[in-house]
A = this chain, B = another copy of it.
Amino acid sequence: MGSHGIVLFAHGARDARWAEPFQRLSARLRELRGESASGPVSLAFLELMTPDLPAAVAQQVADGASVVTVVPVFFGQGGHIRRDLPLILDQCRAAHPSVEIRCSTAVGEDADVIEAIAGYCLRQAF
C-alpha cells in the first residue's frame, strides 16, 4: 500500500517573499505528521510560481503515493477553486487513474482558521 500525500495548493505571486508563509505551513505540517510520516507534503501553485498542481501530484505518485489530498490554501471558494481547480484535478486523475486524488474545501472555510485570524486581528487593535 502506498502513502497518503498532501499537496498544499496556493495561488502564486510574482514576489518570491509571498511564498514564505506557505513554506512555513508545509514545514509545520511535516512536523505534525511526525517522523513516521504516512506520506509527503508538497506545495503547488495555480500560476506565477512552480510547481503547478499536475507536476506536484506526479512527483508524489512517482514517490509512491496511492492517495493524494489537495488542500486549497485560499481564503474563499471563488472562481479559482470552483472553476479552475476542478479542471486541473480532472487532468491529474486522468494522468494517474490508479491513484485516489481527493480535494478539501479552502482553508478559509474552516471555523478554527477563522478563529485564529480573528484572534490575530483583535491583538492588532489594542
Contact = CB atoms under 8 A, between A and B. Distances in A.
Interface string A1-17: 00011101010011101
A18 B104 CA distance: 16
Interface string A26-43: 001100110000110000
Copies in the complex: 2
A15 to B, nearest CB: 4
A120 B83 CA distance: 23
B69 A125 contact: yes
Q: Which secondary structure dominates chain A's binding surface?
A: helix
A97 interface: no
A4 B107 CA distance: 29
A77 B120 contact: no
Given A6-B125, A18-B78, A25-B114, 19 more contacts: A5-B125, A13-B78, A17-B78, A21-B108, A22-B76, A25-B121, A29-B118, A29-B121, A38-B125, A69-B125, A71-B120, A71-B121, A107-B120, A107-B121, A110-B116, A112-B116, A113-B113, A113-B120, A115-B116
